[in-house]
Amino acid sequence: MYRYFGELLTRAAGTVLASADSALPTSTSLLRYRGYSQAVDRDDDPNFFTMVEGFFDRGAAIVEDKLVESLKTRETTEQKKKRVRGILKIIKPCNHVLSVSFPIKKDNGEWEVIEGYRAQHSQHRTPCKGGIRYSMDVSVDEVKALASLMTYKCAVVDVPFGGAKAGVKINPKKYSDNELEKITRRFTIELAKKGFIGPGIDVPAPDMSTGEREMSWIADTFATTMGHYDINAHACVTGKPISQGGIHGRISATGRGVFHGIENFINEAAYMSKLGMCPGFQDKTFVIQGFGNVGLHSMRYLHRFGAKCIGIGEMDGNIWNPNGIDPKELEDYKLANGTIVGFPNSTPYEGNILEADCDILIPAASEKQLTKSNAHKIKAKIIAEGANGPTTPEADRVFLDRNILVIPVSSSRRRSDETPQLPVYTVSLSPLLVSSSLVQDMYLNAGGVTVSYFEWLKNLNHVSYGRLTFKYERDSNYHLLMSVQESLERKFGKHGGAIPIVPTSEFQDRIAGASEKDIVHSGLAFTMERSARQIMRTANKYNLGLDLRTAAYVNAIEKVFQVYSEAGLIFT
């Protein structure tokens, strides 16, 4: 079923341009509308932290008047403005930043001092939530920026967490498994000593170069030390193995989130009409750069719903088949051969796979793949970002000018440089450095944190999803079929024998009841659809047209503001 958001959204894109400063040239008005400034340095690799704060300023400037109007107090208009601006000042900075250094003894007997950071952006909802990454690029600025994005992402998908992020400044490839375990467990202790981890305080998750193994070490360390008397101790971290309290469906959650995010916009007739496309996945072609976890699962679900993958790109080569590539066959081939090169029924693709002719492009490999040097060569109408910051600010500007829909996807990773601190809050639109990599944590990547939320709830409830109702639902479904059969036999008799009741294939798949994975997938799909609806309504409400990034920020700021406003500020 396709949806149509109505003519109001279509008209909004035109009216917002017409209502801009009429004295300005059309190009200048367009830049201002999209959040650009002629005075901004058009650097194709701007500082990450600066960009995050610039986007917050953009969203805050747009939403401020509406927030003032929404206050139902006996204050004067001027007092309401001061209250709104004050709360926005509270929302913007990180509340706490922890920096630690600790020694480890390596396998060769040498000693090394390890640096680590944890930033908690907001406690408007608790616990805080955010991943732990292992990377030499980790810095205070990076974890602060990513923590703030986590706050906004959780707000967008209505997950009741504050934002946080952690990083350990190491290259994990240079350490043995034993050394990595030492580092992980010691970092956990350092966080626990300062109150930066706990089921109701701060709950980490996997991120770059960390996974189930590291999360299991963290849970075990906390549960056997600081959390020894806490029955909920294993809820101190998510992304764990199933045996340690993890949840089914977590591994594919990000890929499914990418799919559901694309689905919600590609089935929206109003957005597709702007791109000159028909709604739905049928007859749509897509290309993926990067056949890792995100690329594989995104390909699976898109293929299952009727889209056709015609190209795959990896570091060692690209393959192409205009008739379509089967994801299962390609997965098996790569497992057997360690590469996609030479896959049967495909030909090598000469040139940049990103510039291939397709409807949907999914860059799911590495950062800064779409730049100002190749943005004008991109032929896709929809770009769904599956990598860490694949699009630079200048490329994003080109895509907006070319009417290409960029759906922000996964978490950002940028090279962090030293940068001066911005003003706490400003309504100026000039520092708006637009980058796709900023709001990637705002929507599609929310599949990960949504399923992490489900895992956290499972740990607190101490029971798997579906366990209490599985058999009851199965028996109820069989009794329903028997009831229908008996009713028909009473009505028409059994002259020719019993009347068989044959369930449809869809009902047969569900007749045994919902498993934990079924419940997780259903909850994720509902969350992504509801969030997409909210972003669309926000874009329409503020006449933002196709500017989904700003719409996501505005949506998040409104929700976080409401929590602060209604909770009250008693200690000021």
Q: Is the pLDDT of residue 276 over 80?
A: yes
The pLDDT value given to residue 424: 35
Q: What is the pLDDT of residues 182-201, one digit of tens each?
A: 999 999 999 999 999 999 99
Q: Rounded to whole angstroms, how far apart are CA atoms 267 and 549?
A: 19
Query: How confident is the model at residue 254, as a pLDDT?
Result: 75
Give tens-digit pLDDT for 263-275: 888 888 888 888 8
pTM value is 0.77
Q: What percent of the chain has pLDDT over 70?
A: 83
**Residue 432: per-residue pLDDT:** 33
Residue 34, pLDDT above cutoff 70: no
Of the candidates 165, 182, 284, 381, the residue annotated as catalytic is: 165
Predicted confidence at residue 504, as pLDDT, reads 82
Alpha-carbon dihedral sign for residues 68, 72, 73, 77: positive
Helix (H, G, I), strand (E, B) or coil at 177: helix
List Cβ neighbours of 229 (8 Å cut-off, separation of 6 or more): none
Q: 49, 418 in Cβ contact below 8 A? A: no
Percent with pLDDT over 90 in the chain: 29
Reduced DSSP (H G I as helix, E B as strand, rest coil) percent helix, strand, coil of the chain, to 5: 45, 15, 40
What local confidence, expressed as pLDDT, does residue 510 receive?
77
Q: Is 165 a catalytic residue?
A: yes
Q: Is it the case that residue 176 has pLDDT exceeding 80? A: yes
Residues 6+ apart with CB under 8 A from 27: none
Q: How confident is the model at residue 428 (pLDDT cuts 50, 70, 90)?
A: very low
pLDDT tens for each residue of 447-495 = 778 889 999 999 999 988 888 888 888 888 888 888 888 888 888 877 7
**Per-residue pLDDT averaged across 438-449, rounded?**
60
Per-residue CA distances from 544 to 126, 140, 530 (Å): 31, 33, 19
List 301's β-bridge partners, or say none: none
Residue 349 pLDDT exceeds 80 = yes
Judge whether residue 360 has pLDDT over 60.
yes
Highest mean pLDDT among 24-33, 432-441, 510-519: 510-519
Tell whether the model's pLDDT for residue 8 goes beyond 50: no
Can you tell me which residue has the tokens 């520092």? 431
pLDDT at 58 over 60: yes
| Residue 362 confidence (pLDDT) above 70 | yes
Q: What tens digit of pLDDT does each residue of 496-552 get?
A: 677 888 888 878 777 777 788 888 888 888 888 888 888 888 888 888 877 777 888
- Report the chain's mean pLDDT, rounded to a whole number: 80
Residue 23 CB burial class (10 angstroms; 0-12, 13-18, ≥19): exposed
